[in-house]
Each structure stands twice: as structure tokens, then as C-alpha cells.
Amino acid sequence: MSNKPGFFKRLKALSLPQKQLFATALCQRMLPNYALFSEVCEFGEPKVLSTVLDLLWQSQYDKKLKFNYDIHLQRLDENTPEPADFEAYGVYPAMDAAVALSTLLGGIQAKIEEDITNVSKLSSSTVANYIEAISIEELEDVMNEDVVEEFVFNHPVMQEEKHLQGMLLDVIEEATKITPEFIKELRKEIIDAGVSNIGISLQQ
């Protein structure tokens, strides 16, 4: 048994730069969800999201970097799909990816640390909704919310999400100093993995 306190208690105990790094990494991992939806449904510009991510990573170690939050938030808003406009399920994880980035960016701008840490819950929520969507036949006769919740929690995709967020928290928590090399290596690992929180890979 681990003697460490709970996940969210540990997450909230991180310094502001550590929280930003954690949330940026999760947003990077959600990007393929948006990119695939954009390609299939011909909506939006993934470049808008990737540009914001590039700036967020860079701002972690380049303190002289300045960028206009309002302009990027407006562009993210313009590129956030409305589920009512699409029949494809992919609109939901794509929307979540854009919302997570907007939440992070707005949290940094307004210095609201809770918004930054909420990216963790947004990523997990995307996974939970995905599991329910792909398991609709298994769950259609289940009326008990507790049973559905337990099914979702124990699903391999959710277990992978919890495992990855836990590992990410361990790595950031244990880094005695957040150096440019550490940030660049973390970013490279996530991009090279090439798989989103719901298993979407653009390399397929």
C-alpha cells in the first residue's frame, strides 16, 4: 500500500508551474482526438490548438515569451465544435480537447489554479463518456448508476487513463527542478507516444 495522500490532494499541492506542466501534458495527449475529428468531419483548424500547445510548452521555460491570451482564447472558441451540429460521436472528444485548452489558458490568464487542475477531470470525463458510448449494448439494460460507474471505472481504457495521470504526477512531483530539458523531454515522450486518452492515433 502507498503512503502517499490521494491523487487530487497531491495535484493541488503542486506549485503553479508544475500544475501548468501537468495540464499542458494532458492537453497535448488529447490533441489527436481533435485532429482526427477535424479531418473526418472537415471542421476547424487543428493548427490553432497545436499553436497554443507550442506556446504553453515554451512558456514553461522561456519566461520572456509573451502571447495574447484573448486572441488565442477567441481562436479556440471559434474552433470548438458544437455537438448539435454533428452526428459523429467524435465531436465530443474533439470538443473536450478544445475546452480543456481553453480552460487551461483561461486559468493561467486569470491565475485560477483550480481551472488548471480541472484539466485532469476533463480528460477523465472524455474517457468515461467514450467508454459509455462504446459499451452502449452492455449497459442499455443497466438502470443502476452505481453499476455503470463501477463498470466505467474498471474498464481498461479508464485504468490506462488513471495509470498515465498517476505516472505523470509522479514524474512532475519528483522533479526537484523543472528544467528546459525536462520539459522538452516530457513533451517529446507524449508526442512520440502518439496515442490520445481514448486510444486515437494519427499514425494508424
Full set of structural domains in the chain with CATH: 13-193 (1.20.1590.10)
Residue 165 DSSP SS3: helix
* pTM of the predicted model as reported, rounded to 2 decimal places: 0.95
What are the Cα distances from residue 130, in Å, to 59, 65, 114, 136? 32, 36, 24, 10
- The set of cell numbers assigned to 57 is 510548452
- Per-residue pLDDT tens digits for 95-146: 999 999 999 999 999 999 999 999 999 999 999 999 999 999 888 888 788 9
Per DSSP, what are the bridge partners of residue 195? 201
- Per-residue pLDDT tens digits for 14-65: 999 999 999 999 999 999 999 999 999 999 999 999 999 999 999 999 989 9
